[in-house]
Structure 1
């Protein structure tokens, strides 16, 4: 009897677990995906309708599903351009050795002269060639911007000594900016040298080098500047322009409200003014929902002017890329505003690139539109495995309107639920009957004993 009780209880637990399974949230929309070629990974550019259907500003409600309804790993790449390359550029500098005798205000003027634009020149009798111990060195950086480091090329075969670096704009007021040890040594055919002085972006015109351990023989002095170069063939995708919902007036004068209609990562905004010969200063704010506080994302001047060559309008305003749905434009009313009619607004944005693992069998689909979900996207570096991962192309095709509204990701067949509940009720009744019978048997046995 006890065995029958345990078996019925186990059956009851299985039925309860299956009947009480919480199905993953359904999506507002689901789109069929078409894959080209045969690969482990596929990528696609997200179309506007995905942004419009999303209920989260970070596209956190997006999922990629296979034919079994399983959620697949994917990454989302922002559409921004890659960081520029940093390259060090060395430029030869003019430098002069000057005796360190006299007061500090006299040191800079011994052996050098200044022309009208501040450039240093050697005077007759200025030291050249080998430098005496105790001599300081003046370096003219010019007006080329920040200097990351100074390279002091040593003529000595062997040298080790400290150097103190001061900076000035007028050769009178000096400020200490760095100190280091220069080194040059050799052993057989091997050479060891430390000739770089880090300056961390000094913007002064002149440097003065002094040598507590004795001055070395200097062959040349060079400035190291960091140049940023754009990555070749790595420009971001062109902007897509999307018209906002009609602009409406806010509660205060000069306040205009509009809805982007989706989680578009807006980075540019074009304002079409209603009247010609209008100039206005504007500030732009956005927010994710109607209860959130406004945040500043950009400001500028917009205009629409009539001239001899036709009408001229202002360039689009550049914004901090912000995937917000609700927007506000505030016009500075001190110059009269923009008139009574409403402006028109166009939003510029770049779509993200999605890459996913094609695990399982097709059809593959993209689900979007449920604010209760959180982002499942991962870094592309964590997604792509193997030495040379093959990536095919995918595209978003038809909207699956007949499936989307109630279909869930891995929910059990809804037709099974009534059967499960009936089985659950029967199991509960059977369990109760077995327990009651077992209790009576126990009581009878006690009486008999």
Structure 2
């Protein structure tokens, strides 16, 4: 009779072979187009051995690997072709600088808050060839009586003639030394309704008190995100600091500027708590930005965006911003997408500021991805198929080659000069019979209770404890049996 321990070892070896066979099978599936969530026909450019194809949103919202490892391009024989992953270069932009003079806004010295500029009486006068903007703090400008001393509370810039988008802005100003000053920039078409545009904090060291300190701190170039300022005024305010603002330099852009991102809408998740919205993402593709548009009219909600990959992880902050939607001059305006910096998370939480009323209804959500393209060698016969989204591919090995290996004599950005093949998303074949026409991501509830990963770990632990218990019981039983046999042997039977 063989020892029980050998039988147990054989059983463990058989289990190991079973799991390794499953891994081999999953790896084999990566080379079969039928295993992918979406398959899109690709129309090649004529007479070009090296080509490139842009990854459409339909593929990006189905990837299960943050490194795009579950993307393949198959030829007509079902074989993956040699390929490399590349980004998309930004289009070149021609920039021009425009200098705008500042028209001072005068107000009573007792005005403590810049918000007090709202709803005040405004008068613009021409004085010796200069335009002066004066604010009446009590609505009785020019009336008889004592006149309160006035000081410069801010300045106006006339940007109505700008025809091109504005990418950044620099102030020509002097401010007190040793005092951080917050400059706020707002835009308006009628000098009544103002919307926030940019903000920066600047500091000038006192050379006498700290001769080794840097001259200025803070970002003097304010990013205006290609704002359209045609027919707009700009208002610059700085609180109570004694600031002299002579003007500002605005940089306009004639090109398309930053590369255009790939966008996909998302179905509105269920809103259980007006100050907290939690949902899961069915993909692992890194997110460049998230557009949050609240429902309703004239709504403004400060929000925080947090993310995690599974329930056992704590929430990590990704970004903070203000989500708003308001109507100014008959035109609806909303906040820009919130930058997430390429975070790859499977669950997202949007928290509304406790000082706000929160969301009355689930906001509109739109996802943005950095554009990516496949550079590939036309190997074999067509038709060619772009496939993406492989279940269980979160840690799959990448099939991408370095660009220098794929493109002979490769030069930086050379991939952007290759002919473009087109992915025909209208004829996409999607596993599960989902419609191929849209790129709307389904709203999925975040994980609740114990995750599948925890169940698997607990199952393995309990199975191990059970196996150890069974081994101990069998060994104890065998020991007792051997002791009983030894006791039945007569003493004179010993050699």
TM class by shorter chain equals 0.3 to 0.5
Structure 1 length as normaliser, TM-score? Answer: 0.47
Structure 2 length as normaliser, TM-score? Answer: 0.43
Q: Which has the higher contact order (CA 8 A, sep 6+)?
A: 1
- Larger of the two Rg values belongs to structure: 1
